[in-house]
Amino acid sequence: MDATPLVAGQVLEVVGASGVGKTEILYSAVLQNVLPKRHDNLVFDGGETSVLFIDLDYRFSVIRFTELFRHRVLSVASRQRSGESHYVS
């Protein structure tokens, strides 16, 4: 995914065939934007912003998003506490 951030007012539409990863791309984009830059001495390099996700076919899973969020937080915490780079992919 391109590292160029979206700015306020931009719209991102993702289209493609079923099963190619559109939803995962959107989960990743949402996650990167809602994470804080820093929290409790951990560096997330997030966007610290709000996201409006319009899901017309009800496929956005809050449970899946929560799993991804938790995995990212634990991964960053583990890497940074072990002395690895604070870069967040």
Q: How much is the pLDDT for 4?
A: 66
Share the mean pLDDT of the chain: 85
Write down the pTM of the prediction.
0.72
- pLDDT confidence of 89, banded at 50, 70, 90? very low
On whether the CB atoms of residues 88 and 45 are closer than 8 A, the answer is yes
d(CA 43, CA 26): 22
Taking CB atoms within 8 Å and a gap of at least 24, the contacts of 1-10 are 1/25, 1/28, 1/29, 5/33, 5/47, 6/33, 8/49
DSSP codes of every residue in 11-28: ------STTSSHHHHHHH
Domain segments of the chain as ranges: 1-89
Convert the pLDDT of each residue in 6-41 to its tens digit.
Answer: 677 788 788 899 999 988 988 998 899 899 999 988
